[in-house]
Amino acid sequence: MLHIENLAAEIDGKLILNGISLTVPRGEVHAIMGPNGSGKSTLAYVLSGRDGYTVTGGTATFNGQDLLAMEPEARAAAGLFLAFQYPVELPGVGNANFLRTARNAQHRLRGEPELDAVQFLKLARAELKKLSMSDDMLRRNVNVGFSGGEKKRNEVLQMAILRPEFALLDETDSGLDIDALKIVAEGVNALRGPNFSALVITHYQRLLDYIAPDCVHVLAGGRIIRSGGPELALELEANGYVGMVADAA
């Protein structure tokens, strides 16, 4: 599914990713943990194609396609979804309109027929119900006036409606209370299956209590310094990053 090899990237001439290699097979959920400034968000942005990052080496393939050569919207249509750490406000743009436009844009790029308003609303309402969210969510403008928790829930709603094959969750748990955290986790877990994979980026172990990862990787200094099973997250929780980073150095 996602295969990253020796990936290096810089921003404004400063090296942030320093040779990352990582494989997330289809159907698996992996977690990336690491201290602040270790390159976690950069990895998410480089994989999703944000401007401003220069890839200086390595490769990233997604279902065999050269991910790094694709426009951000093509990556989205190929099934890559980024749940943002800081979801962006779009004043005057209704959530329903935004999501339908996005979903149909992906359909167009994939050569699939588009959804009309009725089909879309039916689908959206079904997803809302599954996530115990109110229809009001669709009527509001994208993230405008949303609380931090509501913004993250909106990311989960978008993910549910866009049905990606691969979700990148960039510190989706930051700033969430325990109830919101559960909703986010349920949203991810609802999508889990043999054809869905995710890379959960987080600073804390807490989220992994609700989204059980198949594999945990520790990122520090722009490199993966350790990989292991779910127990690695518990070890980090107990001992902190300092010791592990020092061991790796």
Partner 1 sequence: MPPLNDINSETLGTVEALTQSGYKYGFTTDIEMDLAPLGLNEDIVRLISARKNEPQWMLDWRLKAFALWQTMTEPNWAQIGYPPIDYQGIHYYAAPVKKAGPKSLDEVDPELLRTYEKLGIPLRERAILAGVEGADQPSQIAVDAVFDSVSVATTFRETLSKSGVIFCPISEAVRDHPDLVKQYLGSVVPQGDNYFAALNCAVFTDGSFVYIPKGVRCPMELSTYFRINARNTGQFERTLIIAEAGAYVSYLEGCTAPQRDENQLHAAVVELVVMDDAQIKYSTVQNWYPGDADGKGGIYNFVTKRGACRGARSKISWTQVETGSAITWKYPSCVLEGDDSVGEFYSVAVTNNRQQADTGTKMIHVGRNTKSTIVSKGISAGYSNNTYRGLVRITQRAKGARNHTQCDSLLIGEHCGAHTVPYIESRNPTAKVEHEATTSKIAEDQLFYCRQRGLSQEDAVGLIVNGFCKDVLKELPMEFAVEAQKLLAVSLEGSVG
> Which residues lie near partner 1 (CB under 8 A)?
48-55, 71-73, 75-77, 81-82, 84, 87-103, 105-106, 109, 116-117, 120-121, 138-139, 141, 158, 162
Nearer to partner 1, 33 or 157 (CB): 157
Amino acid at site 220:
A
Nearer to partner 1, 82 or 208 (CB): 82
Cβ neighbours, 10 Å, residue 59:
15
Beta-strand relationship, 166-170 and 14-24:
unpaired
Nearer to partner 1, 30 or 75 (CB): 75
The structure tokens 């943990």 sit at 33
Q: How far is the CB of 94 from partner 1 (least distance, A)?
A: 5
Q: How far is the CB of 82 from partner 1 (least distance, A)?
A: 5
Nearer to partner 1, 89 or 229 (CB): 89
Q: How far is the CB of 231 from partner 1 (least distance, A)?
A: 33
Beta-strand relationship, 166-170 and 80-83:
parallel
Instruction: List 226's β-bridge partners, or say none.
Output: 218
Nearer to partner 1, 66 or 116 (CB): 116
Beta-strand relationship, 29-33 and 90-94:
unpaired
Q: How far is the CB of 102 from partner 1 (least distance, A)?
A: 4
Q: Could you tell me the two tokens for 230?
A: 């779910």
Can you say whether residue 22 is alpha, beta or left, with left for phi > 0 and alpha for psi between -120 and 50 degrees? beta
Q: How far is the CB of 96 from partner 1 (least distance, A)?
A: 3
Tell me the C-alpha distance between 19 and 179, whole Å. 37
